Amino acid sequence: MQLLLSFTSTTLSGNCIIKESAKMTYYQGLADRVTFRPYSFLSPSVADSSLGLLVLLLVQVVLLAITRSFNSLLIVSLTTLSALGADIVNSILRQHFERSWRVAIIQGIIVGLLLPSTYSPIAAVFITFCVLLLSKYAFGGFSGPWVNPVAITVAVAYFLDMNAFPLLQVDSSLLQNRNAALLLIQDGTIPIAAEDAYITAFLNRTIFSLFKLAVPEGYVSLFWDTGSLIPAFRFNAITLLSSIILISLDMIDWVIPACFMTVYAVLVRLCGPLITGAVMLQGDMLLAILTGGTLFAALYVLQWYGTTPSTFAGKCLYGCLAGAFAFLIMGMGTSSVGYLFVVLAMNIVCPIIQYLEDRAVFKTVHKQIIPRINAMKEVDRVGDD
């Protein structure tokens, strides 16, 4: 009996040790899984997206330094500091400090990149600070503005000094040619880089020869550096690569830029010749897309936080309307401020699209969700009876 009791006690003690060990292992694993950030985002957060935007914008700033564009660097630096100052003053006045400094830096950099290198730095500082600060009160804060703060800032700068912004580089006679962009390259309006001939020859020999095509010199420079007075219009290849990175990482939505670019390019190709008297179906899409800041505006300005629809259908409608407005306002390309008025026009149209989205949601709730809830309540009532 004593031996049996000893064996039983040893067994129970062993089981307790095993259970305690298993419990400790479970809690240790649970502790390893518990973090200070327990939520998982279905898409990159605003903080991550803004970091991606900031890094890619800084690439363009670095290129300004490499190309010795010191006037543009000065303006970008000053507008960035002004945007930060406006954000700090707004936080002090509201007595509510938000972590919006990263977004303020992005706004300041974009404003600086969209101003000509000949613009007055003092005026750029004053306009950026005042307009960004006032826009936080007049048009809503970061989470819900109905007007793009960058677009309205650059628009005010344009109206205060229109002469600083470049004029249209094309006229109706030039647009009657099939390759208007090539003519701008040949007459020196778009400068040709020293390496253009070597790169063009390499591409023709290795890639385009497979399709029995040959690209003339100058298009590489059009993609790499247009030499525009407005820095945002210069580095099309970097802007295009940035859009691929941001869309692939789901940091920006692809629907609005895709619809915008498609509709604008198609209208330039099909309807442009009707206006200029050129040969049918011969509108220069490259000129329209690679000049006038079309790529930059589509990536960084057109779909600013809070100023776009939320549903897929609403985004498609928004992008298509923006493309149509771009054709009417920006024309066939080389406009220095046309994109601003496209964005501001869409800021006016967007609340209507958002209203239609809300109506569609309410209809769905009343027709589908509420009847199901009532049916579930009826089942519960019958079960209780």
Mean pLDDT over 377-383 rounds to: 65
Task: Decide if 220 contacts 199 (C-beta within 8 A).
Answer: yes
228's tokens = 């525009």
- Burial of 130 (C-beta count, 10 Å sphere; 0-12/13-18/19+): middle
CB 176 within 8 A of CB 276: yes
- For residues 16-28, average pLDDT: 50
Q: How far is CA 120 from the centre of its chain?
A: 27
Task: Please state the pTM of the whole predicted model.
Answer: 0.82
Predicted local confidence at residue 237, as pLDDT: 92
Query: Which one of 217-221, 279-283, 341-345 scores highest in mean pLDDT?
Result: 341-345
Top-ranked range on mean pLDDT: pick from 119-133, 240-254, 344-358: 119-133
Question: Residue 216 and residue 262: Cα distance in Å, rounded?
Answer: 25
Query: Does 175 have pLDDT greater than 90?
Result: no
Is 53 in contact with 246 (CB distance < 8 Å)? yes
Please tell me the predicted confidence (pLDDT) of residue 5. 41
Neighbours of 40 (CB within 10 A): 5
Segment 304-313 shows an average pLDDT of 84
- Give the C-alpha separation, 373 to 355, whole Å: 25
pLDDT digits (tens, 9 = 90+) for 142-163: 555 678 899 999 999 999 999 9
Question: Of the spans 132-141, 269-278, 309-318, which averages the highest pLDDT?
Answer: 309-318
Longest dimension (CA), the chain: 115
pLDDT score, position 177: 74
Among candidate residues 109, 28, 27, 35, the one with its CA nearest the CA of residue 72: 109
Q: Which residue has the tokens 């479970």?
A: 26
Q: For the chain, how big is the Rg over CA atoms in Å?
A: 29
Model pLDDT, residue 250: 86
pLDDT of residue 233: 92
Choose between 303 and 38: higher pLDDT: 303
* Domain boundaries of the chain, sorted by first residue: 46-164, 252-362
Q: Assess contact for 299 and 242: CB atoms under 8 A.
A: yes
- Which has the minimum average pLDDT: 35-44, 56-65, 173-182, 360-369? 35-44
C-alpha span between 252 and 239 (Å, rounded)? 14
In this predicted structure, the answer to whether residue 42 has a pLDDT above a threshold of 70 is: no
User: 3-state DSSP: the chain helix, strand, coil percent, rounded to 5?
Assistant: 70, 0, 30
Tell whether the torsion through CA atoms of 121, 126, 128 and 129 is positive or negative: positive
CB burial string 160-182: b at 16+ within 10 A, e below: ebeebbbebbbeeebbebeebbb
Does an H or E element contain 146, and which?
Answer: none
- 23-37, 48-62, 156-170, 227-241: least confidently modelled range: 23-37
Q: What is the pLDDT of residue 218?
A: 82
Which residue did the predictor score with more confidence, 43 or 160? Answer: 160
* pLDDT at residue 222 in the model: 86
**pLDDT mean across residues, the chain:** 82
* Cα 376 to Cα 168: distance, rounded to the nearest angstrom: 64
CA distances to 42, 57, 148, 211, 320 from 300, in Å: 22, 9, 11, 34, 17
Q: What is the DSSP secondary-structure string of 32-47?
A: HH--S-----SS--HH
